[in-house]
Structure 1
Amino acid sequence: MKKTIYTLSGLVLFAVSCTKTPVDYAVVSGKIKNVEKELTLYSADMKFSKRLELREDGSFSDTIREKLGGHFTLGGLQLYLGKGSDIAINGDAADFQNTLAISGKGSAPSEYLILKRKTQADLMGKDPKLFFQQQEMEFKEANDRIRKTLTGALDSMKGGISEDFMKKEKRNLDYEYLQTLQEYENWHGYVTQNEDFKVSDGFLDELDDIDYNREEDYNFSQAYKEVLNRHYAEEAHKLVKQDSLPVAFAYLKALETISNEAIRNKMLFGAVRSSITYVDENEREEYYTAFKAASTDKDNNAEIEKMYNGLRALAKGNPSPGFTDYENYAGGTTSLDDLKGKYVYIDVWATWCGPCRAEIPFLKKAEEEYRDKNIEFVSISIDQEKDHDKWRAMIEEKELKGIQLLADNAFESEFVTAYLIAGIPHFILIDPEGTIVSSNAPRPSSPDLKKLFDRIL
């Protein structure tokens, strides 16, 4: 009897020792030539990022533990990382299209995503404008051909792709098809220069059967998110016309109707995080209160509360955050304190920002009109250090006036983060004592800027 007990004990110990610990991470490694000292891996929702340090020969290796079971981007490359993935990425950044190779455990979904991107580019053609220039039926057929071709490509990789990924991606392809249908009206009007273009009745009927409460699809498919964004933006537009609500308030009200709590919370958070900075200062408390009443996610609420409190510190009459020793295109460095005694109108911009460049002619006009007034026009570029020469070249090419400065750490510069700037261009007005007149001043292209200047100067 005693021997039997020892044998059973041994079996129990053996079973315990052979039990595998669940793998809760993914490994990404490889070698990429002709790239900078580091690459940054981003999750699809941009809430997670990790810098992958490159060795001198371009090789790298790192362990990822967050956002697994989802999409990532790495230097423009689309990846899918699941728990237990161990993928190797090799290629030349100077010619990714012809040199890129992905291999290893769990690499099939990423290989499919690369094939998908290439197939989409081939089927749409070199100039996407020509794709949207097609007439309605021709466009629908071409769009559906892309969906069917990609579905076939996905089916051909069944051996290495999980059934779960296959099901989700096939639904995603349907959403991408529908998203492209949604985009057709605006794009076709733009490329044909027909601003009054409207799609025919029935063109968007395929969107009528969408379920707007599929949490699994929301977490997997960016196209599904975009379809939802467009749907609720249209609902908000109706409220603007019906109840004369400001756009931000109307969109918030439209999102409140979402029955799926997780989707509602995520969309509310995304909307408020990107817009609260731009809501009129006199209406911001009401906007924040409306968000709190609709959102039930404690972490999201805490982050928005932090932003709201930060914006309260940027209210009119409060001391402005400062910047110190920013490189001046004209030579030397400039700090905000150097400009005391004058109003300071600040344009936060970058060479890569199209809307920023669109404001340049209007900014030049304002500078000329008020050049004899007590005001300095300051442009702060948040270009990265590697684009330093591009910054100087654009100043010369566009003959930019005013004080041209380069921030010390791009978007992460202390001045930029202190003003909670989420997008550019962004304009700020500071008075001669260094206090805030407006943390979100009108753009040069807005008639409100002239009204503001004429009132204070």
Structure 2
Amino acid sequence: MKKILAILIIVFCFSCKENTKENYTLFSGKIENPKDVKVSILKGRKKVKEIPLQKDGSFADTLRIESGFYNLSHGGETSEMYLTAQDNVNVTLDTEMFDETITYTGLGSQNNNYLAAKYMANENANINVAELYTMEESEFLSAINDIKTTKLELLNNQKDLNTEFARIEAQNIEYDYLSFIQNYASGHKYYTKNPEFKPTPEFLKPLENLDYSNQHDYTTISNYKSLVQNYYTRKINKIDSISDIFEWINKTAFPELKEDLANTLQYRIVPNNEDNKAYYEGIMSISSDKAFKDKLTKNYNNIQKLSKGQPSPKFENYENHNGGSTSLDDLKGQYVYIDVWATWCGPCIAEIPSLKKLETQYHDKNIAFVSISADVESAYDKWVDMVKEKELSGIQLIADNNFKSQFIVDYAINTIPRFLLIDPDGKIINADAPRPSDPKLIELFNELNI
């Protein structure tokens, strides 16, 4: 009996050991020339973990995660990774050449070295988008077939990839090909300046049987996610009734898609939009993310306060590029046209020539032109240099806490560029004013007799 009991105990202990097998990823590495005191692991927009760096730039931790795609983030740069339970991955990189130097070793490294190589191959391919979308259908199909073949060759030349990862990547390449077809009509219209263009039914056939309700692929394959979001966005833009938009989303979309659509549609809630209430209520109906809904409610309530004639939110003692500081109250008695921008924002920079022309045209009028940079602290020198290099005129200021600055928060600014117009008494004329390149701005100035 004792012998049987001993055997049972051994079997039980062995079973427990098997059942409690650790289910985590070992993740370590070293960063040369670190730009921050930590590295972050992200899953989409959500932060999975922050890992502190040691003095020599090294780090190590365990990640209790499900298998899938993640991003390594450090100092404003990111790199895509594929991690599975029981991986033991080590990464090294130099921030001076982040993407060119990132290298993985250890169990699971093959998947990630492929992703790094894929990124560099895409960068070096240097596809001329304008040239591609100007092509006629047959030439375009030939070009994207070549792109697809090149990507498949890189994938197929890899050794020892995780089987599921390789399957996902092959599917991702196919979805990438379909994305080109999906975007061809709008791209061709734009680059050929032919708004009446319509692709032939034969050209669009590969999209005919595409299932846009595959929840698994949406959460695991990036190019499928783009296909689905583009499909929904185009459908939404064709629906006139806002209530019908959200009724359709609630009927057809799965939870992850609903959250992403909510995140996209929130940007339609802007000052002077008479449909704000309908969008707010609709977005609240499709989202189940409490933190997002709380933030949306706060933003919506702020926007309600930004109607014409309301007192403008104020900024105080913002650093002036010319020296000293400037507050909104310093400009009372003048109209104030404010440009909220940042050095990294392409559309902001594209407005600079029109803004400079406007400032010259109105230099002797009762209006102050103010540019407020929302750059982060680490980009301070870049802001200083860009103002000099581009010979920016007007009053050049930098916000005291980038997008978290109270003035920017109070104006519910979450995308830039954003332009504001305030009257001589400090009251709002337009909290989402026309851009300098928009002829409607001059019309507005004329109406005000500026």
**When the two structures are superposed, what TM-score results if normalisation uses the length of structure 2?**
0.83
CA distance in 2, matches of 1:386, 1:297: 31
In the TM superposition, residue 258 of structure 1 has moved relative to its aligned partner by 5.3
Shift of the 328–186 alpha-carbon distance from structure 1 to 2, 3 Å rule, reads same
In the TM superposition, residue 303 of structure 1 has moved relative to its aligned partner by 4.2
- Partner of residue 89, structure 2: 87
- Partner of residue 349, structure 2: 357
Contact 1:235 1:251 in 2 (8 A): no
- 1:79-109 deviation line (CA, Å, top 9, x unaligned): 2233443322123334456543211232332
In the TM superposition, residue 200 of structure 1 has moved relative to its aligned partner by 4.0
CA distance in 1, matches of 2:80, 2:390: 35
- 1:394-440 deviation line (CA, Å, top 9, x unaligned): 32343322210112333343432343322110122334454444332
Q: 2:263 aligns with which of 250, 256, 270?
A: 270
Contact 2:99 2:116 in 1 (8 A): no
CA distance in 2, matches of 1:307, 1:391: 28
- 1:235-280 deviation line (CA, Å, top 9, x unaligned): 23433xxx4x6xxx4994585265233245224312223332x263
Contact 2:358 2:436 in 1 (8 A): yes
- Partner of residue 139, structure 2: 138
- Amino acid corresponding to residue 271 of structure 1 in structure 2: T
Contact 1:321 1:419 in 2 (8 A): yes
CA distance in 2, matches of 1:345, 1:67: 50
- Partner of residue 212, structure 2: 212
Residue aligned with 1:345, SS: strand
Contact 1:172 1:223 in 2 (8 A): yes
Shift of the 323–78 alpha-carbon distance from structure 1 to 2, 3 Å rule, reads same
Matches within 5 A, 1:284-433: 284-295=276-287, 300-433=292-425
Matches within 5 A, 1:151-162: 151-157=152-158, 159-162=160-163
Which region of structure 1 is more displaced relative to structure 2, 322-331 or 213-222?
A: 322-331
Contact 1:32 1:92 in 2 (8 A): yes
CA distance in 2, matches of 1:284, 1:190: 29
Shift of the 110–292 alpha-carbon distance from structure 1 to 2, 3 Å rule, reads same
Residue aligned with 2:344, SS: coil
Residue aligned with 1:391, SS: helix
- 1:183-232 deviation line (CA, Å, top 9, x unaligned): 33444566667676654442222111111111111112222222223223
| Runs ≥4 residues deviating over 6 A | 192-196
In the TM superposition, residue 316 of structure 1 has moved relative to its aligned partner by 4.5
Q: 2:119 aligns with which of 117, 123, 140?
A: 117
Residue aligned with 1:159, SS: coil
CA distance in 1, matches of 2:436, 2:247: 31
In the TM superposition, residue 328 of structure 1 has moved relative to its aligned partner by 0.7
Residue aligned with 2:252, SS: coil
- Partner of residue 148, structure 2: 147
In the TM superposition, residue 69 of structure 1 has moved relative to its aligned partner by 2.3
CA distance in 2, matches of 1:320, 1:117: 45
Q: Do residues 30 (structure 1) and 32 (structure 2) align?
A: no
- Amino acid corresponding to residue 169 of structure 1 in structure 2: E
CA distance in 1, matches of 2:283, 2:340: 28
Q: Aligned-residue CA RMSD in angstroms?
A: 3.6
CA distance in 2, matches of 1:415, 1:65: 40
- 1:270-321 deviation line (CA, Å, top 9, x unaligned): 2223332x26343211221233345566565444334323433444455544
- 1:11-39 deviation line (CA, Å, top 9, x unaligned): 54564466425435x44432233442356
CA distance in 1, matches of 2:437, 2:176: 35
Shift of the 269–234 alpha-carbon distance from structure 1 to 2, 3 Å rule, reads closer
CA distance in 2, matches of 1:308, 1:53: 36
In the TM superposition, residue 129 of structure 1 has moved relative to its aligned partner by 4.8
CA distance in 2, matches of 1:50, 1:318: 43
Q: Which runs of 5+ in 1 are unaligned?
A: none
Q: Do residues 235 (structure 1) and 235 (structure 2) align?
A: yes
CA distance in 1, matches of 2:226, 2:290: 25
Contact 2:259 2:288 in 1 (8 A): no
Q: Which runs of 5+ in 2 are unaligned?
A: none
- Amino acid corresponding to residue 59 of structure 1 in structure 2: S
Which region of structure 1 is more displaced relative to structure 2, 379-388 or 430-439?
A: 430-439
- Partner of residue 107, structure 1: 109
**When the two structures are superposed, what TM-score results if normalisation uses the length of structure 1?**
0.82
Residue aligned with 2:386, SS: helix
Residue aligned with 2:45, SS: coil
CA distance in 2, matches of 1:22, 1:128: 47
Contact 2:370 2:397 in 1 (8 A): yes
- Amino acid corresponding to residue 184 of structure 2 in structure 1: Y
Contact 1:272 1:304 in 2 (8 A): no
CA distance in 2, matches of 1:29, 1:349: 37
Residue aligned with 2:299, SS: helix
CA distance in 2, matches of 1:359, 1:314: 24
Q: Name the count of aligned residue pairs.
A: 446
Residue aligned with 1:70, SS: strand
CA distance in 1, matches of 2:309, 2:355: 25
- Amino acid corresponding to residue 175 of structure 2 in structure 1: Y
- Partner of residue 182, structure 1: 182
- Amino acid corresponding to residue 234 of structure 1 in structure 2: R
Which region of structure 1 is more displaced relative to structure 2, 419-428 or 76-85?
A: 76-85
Q: 2:435 aligns with which of 433, 437, 443?
A: 443
Contact 2:336 2:422 in 1 (8 A): yes
Contact 1:27 1:86 in 2 (8 A): yes
CA distance in 2, matches of 1:347, 1:354: 14
CA distance in 2, matches of 1:262, 1:451: 44
Residue aligned with 2:23, SS: coil
- Partner of residue 46, structure 2: 47
Shift of the 70–125 alpha-carbon distance from structure 1 to 2, 3 Å rule, reads closer
In the TM superposition, residue 323 of structure 1 has moved relative to its aligned partner by 3.0
Shift of the 94–133 alpha-carbon distance from structure 1 to 2, 3 Å rule, reads farther
